[in-house]
């Protein structure tokens, strides 16, 4: 193995706890937890509104909640991709 590969592996091996690995991943890709939290909020809101939906059909309510949850996740993924592209191409130091 080359020295550069050894340094990468040793960096990952030093973080042994699950929380430190999770926090490191969240720092590398910050929009993933935002998308997961938004999805959970939409599902929670959908469950709350399920009880108070009035005369709306169940299938229509579920379709609306599915579209809202998917829209939030796709929006978060799109923002994450744009953020990483911006970070790589604008803030990348010139070599």
Q: Where are the domains of the chain?
A: 58-94
Crossing angle of helices 58-89 and 31-51, rounded to 10°: 170
Residue 67 tokens read as: 């579209």
- pLDDT by residue (tens digit) across 7-18? 555 555 555 788
Question: What's the rounded Cα separation, in Å, for the pair 69 and 42?
Answer: 6
Q: Is 54 exposed, middle or buried (0-12, 13-18, 19+ CB in 10 A)?
A: exposed
- pLDDT by residue (tens digit) across 80-91? 888 888 888 887
Give the mean model confidence (pLDDT) for residues 58-81. Answer: 88
pTM check: above 0.85: no
pLDDT for the residue 67: 92
State the DSSP H helix or E strand holding residue 90, giving kind and residue range, or none if neither. Answer: none
Radius of gyration of the chain (CA): 20
């Amino acid at each position: 193995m080359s020295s550069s590969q050894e340094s990468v592996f040793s960096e990952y091996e030093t973080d042994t706890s699950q929380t430190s690995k999770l926090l490191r991943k969240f720092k590398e890709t910050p929009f993933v937890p935002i998308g997961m939290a938004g999805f959970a909020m939409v599902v929670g809101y959908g469950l709350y509104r399920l009880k108070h939906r009035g005369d709306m059909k169940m299938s229509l309510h579920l379709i609306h909640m599915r579209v809202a949850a998917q829209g939030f996740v796709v929006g978060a993924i799109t923002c994450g991709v744009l953020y990483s592209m911006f970070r790589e191409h604008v803030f990348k130091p010139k070599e």
